[in-house]
Amino acid sequence: MQITVKLLLAGCIWLALTAPALAQDDSDEVPESVDRQYVQGIDPYSVGPGEYLAFDYEAYGTQARKAYQAGDYELAAKYFLALIRRNVDDAGAIYDLACCYGKLEMPVPAALFLEGAFAAGYSDYDWASWDPDFAAVRDDPAFQDSWARIGELMEERQAGLGEEIVVAAPVYLKCRVQLPANYDPAMEYPLLIGLHGYGDNPDNFAGLLERREIPGGNFIYAAPQGPYAFLPGSKIGYSWIEGNGEDEDTWKQARALAIDYVGGVVGELKARYSIGDVYLMGFSQGCVMTYNTGLTYPGLFSGLICFGGWLESDMFADEQYAAASGLPVFIVQGNADQLVEPQAAYDARDTLLDHGFTVEFTEFDGGHAVPGDALTAALIYMGLLE
């Protein structure tokens, strides 16, 4: 890697991210963060809009995440750098770039970009404090200095705001519903509910079958929205659980509410459509919710499909496992998953097998993803596709 160039670039971008917003300034002075040569290299009379606007931001983000999952952190860093050159406010992309430098064991750019991510609005201080991507650089003095400044920044943001509490409240949440081709309201259809991962949204997860080129099935597919909105990057994402687990009582209550909410989705859809068997599928955090909801309310479902997640095994007593053991479970796990240790899927499989479940387990060469062939196999296993 061109380390010198990259470090200079990291410093320039960090300065841009952390500089305060300026009021209109009529002086001739140009801030140090402005590169005159870069501006002079732009000819506003000869460029077309496509040169600046025809940038597929989402596609670059997808390639960045693919490279990260494949362990090619240098390539992932290039893609993330391309992203933030187009949008220096994408706190999620800046944070992910910092993670790449952490994996590359480069403490200075890791620290600068992590600090820049918080300056741009990233706020998950608890996660960043133990994110394993920074394990190799966390003790470096440069990283420690940045982490101290991040702590001061977070304290400043919280100053004067008062105590934070959470209050349970009923709300209306979005759920995307896709009906099969030639849908007949007089006919009964099986239902597949898909639970998105942490930071995702129902619109994106609703497109999962199409993106994976799954042939049209004769079933209804629904993708509900996680209850808790936050800004992981340039777009709002959602989580199924609020809080970081430090307040155990609140954490448990939030988890119970989320489980009841998914169960309520089943009831709402059954009231609107003629539905037979119901299958629950989830990815990552949505996979955790699939286990939790399926084992809590086994009578609602005819099968569980679990991608890239873990089972909170201590949550259930032997009697609960016994009551749910008739549910078939299809587990899929990437052997190079950088976000969820593959061992978590092995443990879930073994726990369920020990309690008498029928488990189909598939491992694929790849990372934190829902591969099309494994998804097709899961749907065939559940009888949703032929």
User: 175-381 has which fold?
Assistant: Rossmann fold (3.40.50)
Burial class (CB in 10 A: 0-12, 13-18, 19+), 365: exposed
Per CATH, domain 3-158 is 1.10.10.60: no
Q: In the numeric block, which tokens belong to residue 304? A: 């569980």
CA atoms within 13 A on the CB side of 92: 15
Distance, in Å, from the CA atom of 210 to the CA atom of 319, rounded to the nearest integer, reads 39
Number of Cβ within 10 Å of residue 147's Cβ equals 20
CATH 3.40.50.1820 placement within the chain? 175-381
Cα 224 from chain centroid (whole Å): 15
Question: Is the predicted pLDDT of residue 11 greater than 50, yes or no?
Answer: no
- Check if the beta carbon of residue 175 is closer than 8 Å to that of residue 337: no
The strand pairing partners of 331, in sequence order, are 306, 361
* Backbone angles phi and psi of 38, in degrees to 5: -65, -45
Distance, in Å, from the CA atom of 291 to the CA atom of 242, rounded to the nearest integer, reads 18
Burial class (CB in 10 A: 0-12, 13-18, 19+), 110: buried
Task: Specify the pairing of strand 175-178 against strand 303-307.
Answer: unpaired
pLDDT digits (tens, 9 = 90+) for 136-181: 999 999 999 999 999 999 999 888 888 878 788 888 999 999 999 9
CATH 1.25.40.10 placement within the chain? 3-158
**pLDDT score recorded for residue 234:** 64
pLDDT digits (tens, 9 = 90+) for 33-78: 777 777 777 777 777 766 677 778 888 988 998 899 888 999 999 9
Q: Report the predicted TM-score, pTM, of the whole model to 2 decimal places.
A: 0.79
Distance, in Å, from the CA atom of 137 to the CA atom of 147, rounded to the nearest integer, reads 11
More confident residue, 283 or 3: 283
Distance, in Å, from the CA atom of 155 to the CA atom of 167, rounded to the nearest integer, reads 23
Distance set, CA 4 to CA 7, 9, 108, 160 (Å): 5, 9, 11, 41
Question: Is the predicted pLDDT of residue 4 greater than 60, yes or no?
Answer: no
DSSP line for 78-110: HHHHHHHHH-TT-HHHHHHHHHHHHHTT-HHHH
Distance, in Å, from the CA atom of 104 to the CA atom of 101, rounded to the nearest integer, reads 5
pLDDT digits (tens, 9 = 90+) for 266-276: 999 999 999 99
10: CB partners within 8 A, 6+ apart: 101, 108, 109, 112, 113
Nearest partner of 176 among 199, 192, 190, judged by Cα: 192
- Check if the beta carbon of residue 73 is closer than 8 Å to that of residue 109: no
